[in-house]
């Protein structure tokens, strides 16, 4: 959509169309995406025209299906003639087999970052970046990060003024602060229901404001502190202190979006004894200050901003009457 919006002639201060968007399918036949949308490609891989920029979208097919090998083979043959190659989300699984990304910094959806690094150990995988550029190769994280990437490419081509105009049209940030940790699931509990730790995370969530010291948690599990730490790392993959801190921060993040408490009250309600300690921990974990996060995800603030935008834009003279 960002490229399509940018392609509208004259709308963003450009004298002509910025881009021509071409949808390429494995064949020329229509195909349905995982989202359910039906796409009618302009052409097939075999008949694809010369490209300036190639963007490979993600999806299950790109990650584990036979399409990945077909796309990778096509990219290997045509890459020397393409100025830049980008992947979105798991689309990187169709680019990585070419070897073109070996030794480069890349990203993908946080959920698949570990698997990507395991399958392609020569890649330098950053699970938190919204998007990365390394030479002529660009990789984006989760699906909406593709908008961030598209705006960056538009800015490269036509400058910040055009990119900002497109961002305003899409009602998004031109440069979004923070990384994928702002939006990813806080923790992945990997324990069996029969394990003595199965209910511990739930119990901790119900007592975030209370004493969650090592001694308290070890006593809850009926283990010595030393044995508890060792078993805890085996089950949850980290220390009890970091586990508790992350749960507190994730609950704080939820409370901030509800706008029913002050930031100081949120900090206290999830067990932080110091407002400053909470702010530092929150920014270190999510890459943004608690106040910035609240403003960004508060529905009422966004609605108010949208109303102001509508009023301002309604005062513009109609096109052709200036």
CATH number, residue 248: 1.10.10.60
Q: What backbone torsions phi and psi does residue 241 show, to the nearest 5 degrees?
A: -65, -45
Structural domain ending residue among the three candidates 182, 215, 239:
182
Kindly state whether residues 116 and 253 are assigned to the same domain: no
**Which residues are the active-site residues?**
89
Per-residue pLDDT of 163-183, as tens digits, reads 878 887 877 766 666 666 555
Q: By percentage, how much of the chain surpasses pLDDT 90? A: 47
The verdict on residue 188 lying in a domain is: no
pLDDT at 255: 86
Kindly state whether residues 207 and 149 are assigned to the same domain: no
Kindly state whether residues 63 and 162 are assigned to the same domain: yes
Decide which of 185 and 238 is more confident.
238
Instruction: Write the DSSP string, 124-156.
Output: EE-SS-SEEEETTEEEE-STTHHHHHHHHHHHH
Q: Which domain holds residue 259?
A: 200-297
Structural domain ending residue among the three candidates 123, 156, 182:
182
Q: Check: CB of residue 225 under 8 Å from CB of residue 215.
A: yes
Calculate the dihedral angle through the C-alpha atoms of 36, 40, 46, 49, rounding to the nearest 10 degrees.
Answer: -120
Nearest to 184 by CA among 117, 85, 114, 273: 114
Structural domain ending residue among the three candidates 136, 155, 182:
182
Kindly state whether residues 138 and 217 are assigned to the same domain: no
Kindly state whether residues 84 and 56 are assigned to the same domain: yes
Kindly state whether residues 268 and 175 are assigned to the same domain: no
Q: Check: CB of residue 253 under 8 Å from CB of residue 243.
A: no
Residue 312 clears pLDDT 70, i.e. is over it: no
Kindly state whether residues 165 and 56 are assigned to the same domain: yes
CA distance 269 to 251: 9
Per-residue pLDDT of 187-200, as tens digits, reads 444 444 345 676 78
Q: Check: CB of residue 274 under 8 Å from CB of residue 264.
A: no
Kindly state whether residues 29 and 167 are assigned to the same domain: yes
The verdict on residue 191 lying in a domain is: no
Decide which of 180 and 275 is more confident.
275
pLDDT at 137: 96
Per-residue pLDDT of 277-306, as tens digits, reads 999 999 998 888 999 888 775 544 444 444
Q: What is the DSSP letter of 85?
A: E
Kindly state whether residues 111 and 52 are assigned to the same domain: yes
Q: Which of 30-34, 127-131, 256-260, 303-307 has the lowest mean pLDDT?
A: 303-307
Number of domains in the chain: 2
CA distance 136 to 51: 14
Average pLDDT, the chain: 82
Rg (CA), the chain: 24
Decide which of 9 and 214 is more confident.
214
CA distance 117 to 108: 10
pLDDT at 193: 37
The verdict on residue 39 lying in a domain is: yes
pLDDT at 47: 96
Residue 118 clears pLDDT 90, i.e. is over it: yes
Cite the beta strand spans of the chain per DSSP E: 24-25, 31-32, 38-39, 43-44, 53-56, 84-88, 105-106, 124-125, 131-134, 137-140
Angle at 169 between CA 163 and CA 171, to 5 degrees: 100
3-state secondary structure of 43: strand
Q: What backbone torsions phi and psi does residue 135 show, to the nearest 5 degrees?
A: 70, -135
3-state secondary structure of 268: helix
Residue 229 clears pLDDT 90, i.e. is over it: yes
CA distance 53 to 61: 21
The verdict on residue 313 lying in a domain is: no
Decide which of 95 and 152 is more confident.
95
CATH number at residue 131: 3.40.50.880
Across the beta sheet with 137-140, the strand order is 53-56, 84-88, 137-140, 131-134
Per-residue pLDDT of 9-61, as tens digits, reads 655 555 566 888 999 999 989 998 888 889 999 999 999 999 999 999 998 88
CA distance 76 to 90: 18
Kindly state whether residues 76 and 105 are assigned to the same domain: yes
Residue 212 clears pLDDT 90, i.e. is over it: yes
3-state secondary structure of 95: coil
pLDDT at 233: 85
The verdict on residue 28 lying in a domain is: yes
């Amino acid at each position: 959509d960002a490229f399509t919006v940018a392609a509208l002639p004259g709308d963003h201060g450009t004298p002509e169309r910025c881009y021509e968007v071409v949808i390429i399918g494995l064949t020329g036949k229509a195909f349905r995406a995982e989202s359910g949308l039906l796409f009618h490609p302009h052409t097939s891989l075999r008949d694809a025209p010369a490209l300036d920029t190639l963007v490979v979208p993600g999806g299950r097919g790109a990650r584990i299906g036979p399409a990945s090998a077909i796309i990778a083979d096509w990219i290997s043959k045509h890459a020397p003639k393409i100025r830049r190659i980008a992947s979105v989300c798991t689309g990187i699984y169709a680019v990585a087999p070419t070897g073109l990304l070996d030794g480069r910094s890349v990203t993908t959806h946080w959920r698949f970052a570990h698997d990507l690094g395991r399958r392609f150990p020569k890649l330098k995988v950053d699970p938190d970046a919204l998007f990365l550029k390394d030479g002529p190769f660009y990789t984006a994280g989760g699906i909406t990060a593709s908008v961030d990437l598209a705006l960056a490419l538009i800015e490269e081509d036509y400058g910040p003024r055009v990119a900002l105009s497109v961002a305003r049209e899409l009602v998004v940030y031109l440069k979004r602060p923070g990384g994928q940790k702002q939006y990813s699931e806080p923790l992945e509990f990997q324990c069996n229901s029969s394990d003595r730790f199965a209910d511990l995370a739930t119990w901790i969530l119900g007592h975030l404001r209370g004493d969650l010291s090592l001694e308290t948690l070890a006593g809850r599990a009926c283990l010595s502190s030393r044995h508890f730490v060792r078993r805890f790392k085996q089950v949850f993959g980290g220390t009890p202190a970091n586990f508790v801190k992350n749960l507190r921060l994730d609950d704080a993040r939820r409370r901030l979006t509800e706008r029913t408490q002050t930031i100081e009250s949120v900090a206290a309600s999830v067990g932080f004894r110091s407002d400053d300690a909470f702010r530092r921990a929150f920014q270190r974990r999510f890459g943004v200050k608690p106040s910035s996060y609240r403003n960004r995800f508060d529905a009422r603030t966004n609605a108010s901003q949208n109303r102001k935008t509508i009023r301002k834009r309604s005062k513009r003279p109609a096109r052709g009457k200036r």
